[in-house]
Structure 1
Amino acid sequence: MLKAELRKKYMQKRKALSSDEAFLLSEKILDHFLDYFKPEKGQKVHVFIPIEKFKEINTGIFIDAFLQNNIRVFVPKVVADDLISVEINKDTAFETSGWGISEPISNEDSGELHFDYVITPLLYSDAEGNRIGYGKGFYDAFFQSISGASKKIGVNYFSPDEKIDDVWENDIPLDYLVTPTEVLSFFKGEE
């Protein structure tokens, strides 16, 4: 299927979830993430803050778990046309952006280029790690700017049942996908 068709289809599937269903599925995704990757104290995780009106995965529970375990947390913030990484802690002050996203008030880019994990928003990922976002290209540009050793991990309510037919040259695939039922690796020879 084409990205535009898949984007529309999975946005509708997401909207059909109740708030309770979305929260329970988010908890299962977090559990799979923690069980599979076993993040440790001092590691660095870049994690998006969800757009609630789009029923994105509730990463607030991820952030709470990371901060409780002394894992360093970085969140994205769009400043001008660039995605920067702001390090946060339990005392960070937030405001709501024009997109309806809770963002740190600070515009100070951490300058960090190596993350252990980059938890990536998406509407859909296929079984090869190709992802569909909202079409702005922020994460493809971000992936190009960070260390190639950073694990790019998509999180989604839905399994990758359909192939994306119009993958573009500049699209950067995920390394892993975490769903409520499984963790998929897109590295050859790895489960």
Structure 2
Amino acid sequence: MTKNELRKIYREKRAAIPSKEKLKLDDLLLINFQQLYFEDVQVLLTYWPKADTQEPNTHLFSGYLRHMLPDLQIAYPKADFTGNTMTALLVNEDTVYYTNQYGITEPKEGIIVDAAAIDLVLVPFLVCDKDGYRVGYGKGFYDRYLSACRQDVIKAGISYFEPVEQIDDRNNFDIPLDYCITPESIYEF
């Protein structure tokens, strides 16, 4: 299937998850996430889950990492929709967030962290295939950003759904995940 076909199917599948079931799935995702070894991670780029798209609760994963790695620096993306690019801003307990016109919650301000300094990226997506290629939201923000990161940056995706066999319209600019964590499994690519 193509990205557009998969995007439509998995938006609908995600929207159909009842809120009580979503809480259970988020707990199962966290249990599997905790099986991964991230001791050397110093800088995490995560994202604020969009409630209207039923994204997994990424706050659980960043909270766990903050507990396990007390010196961890956490960054959130700030999008520039004129060029479909993003920067990563370091956050702390005093950071003020706002929700932009596209429903994405971002830090109002913060120190920009160089893409080469990031060790782990939690990458948003709807579904991935068995090679780690993912269907995002269609603008290419993360593929452009990840291309500026170090080769050894860990790219982890969190999904309620198991990978599909293959995305038919992958292209040369697509950057695959290293891990996909689902409620049932951990996939390493």
TM over 0.5: yes
Partner of 1:104: 107
AA aligned to 1:84 is T
Deviates more, 1:63-72 or 1:173-182: 63-72
Correspondence for 1:159: 162
Instruction: Decide whether the 8 Å contact of 1:67 with 1:89 is kept in 2.
Output: no
| Total equivalences in the alignment | 185
Structure-2 separation of matches of 1:182 and 1:51: 23
For the 8 Å contact 1:76–1:86, the answer to whether it is kept is yes
Which residue of the partner structure matches residue 62 of structure 1? 61
Shift of 1:167: 0.7
Compared with structure 1, are the counterparts of its residues 42 and 132 closer, same or farther at alpha carbon in structure 2 (3 Å cutoff)?
A: closer
Which range is displaced more, 17-26 or 137-146?
17-26
- How far apart are the structure 1 equivalents of 2:110 and 2:95? 12
Alignment gaps of 5+ in structure 2 = none
Q: Say if 2:78 and 2:107, in contact at 8 Å, map to a contact too.
A: yes
CA RMSD for the aligned pairs?
Answer: 1.7
Amino acid at match of 1:109: I
1:181 to 177, 181, 184: 184
Q: Give the 5 Å matches for 1:88-127.
A: 88-106=91-109, 108-127=111-130
* One-letter amino acid of the structure 1 residue matched with residue 44 of structure 2: V
SS in 1 for 2:29: helix
Select 2:138's aligned residue among 116, 135, 143: 135
Q: Deviations over 1:16-71 (max 9, x none)?
A: 0012222221222122112222x338622111111110001111222222333422
**Counterpart contact for 2:116–2:149, Cα < 8 Å:** yes
TM-score after normalising by structure 1? 0.89
Aligned to 1:6: 6
TM-score w.r.t. length of structure 2: 0.90
Counterparts of residues 61-80 of structure 1 (less than 5 Å): 61-69=60-68, 70=70, 71-79=72-80, 80=82
Following the alignment from structure 1 to structure 2, what is the Cα–Cα distance between the partners of residues 91 and 182?
A: 36
Contact 1:51-1:99 at 8 Å conserved across structures: no
Structure 1 counterpart of 2:54, which letter?
K
SS at match of 2:113: coil
The SS at the match of 1:99 is coil
* Deviations 1:77-112, CA, capped at 9 Å, x for gaps: 113532100111222211111121221110542224
Letter in 2 for 1:78: A
What amino acid maps onto 1:176 in structure 2? Answer: Y
Question: Does the 8 Å contact 1:48/1:76 carry over to 2?
Answer: yes
What is the alpha-carbon distance in structure 2 between the residues aligned to residue 139 and residue 41 of structure 1?
Answer: 22
Task: Say whether the 8 Å CA contact 1:73–1:88 is kept in structure 2.
Answer: yes
Q: Is the 8 A contact 1:66 1:73 kept in 2?
A: no
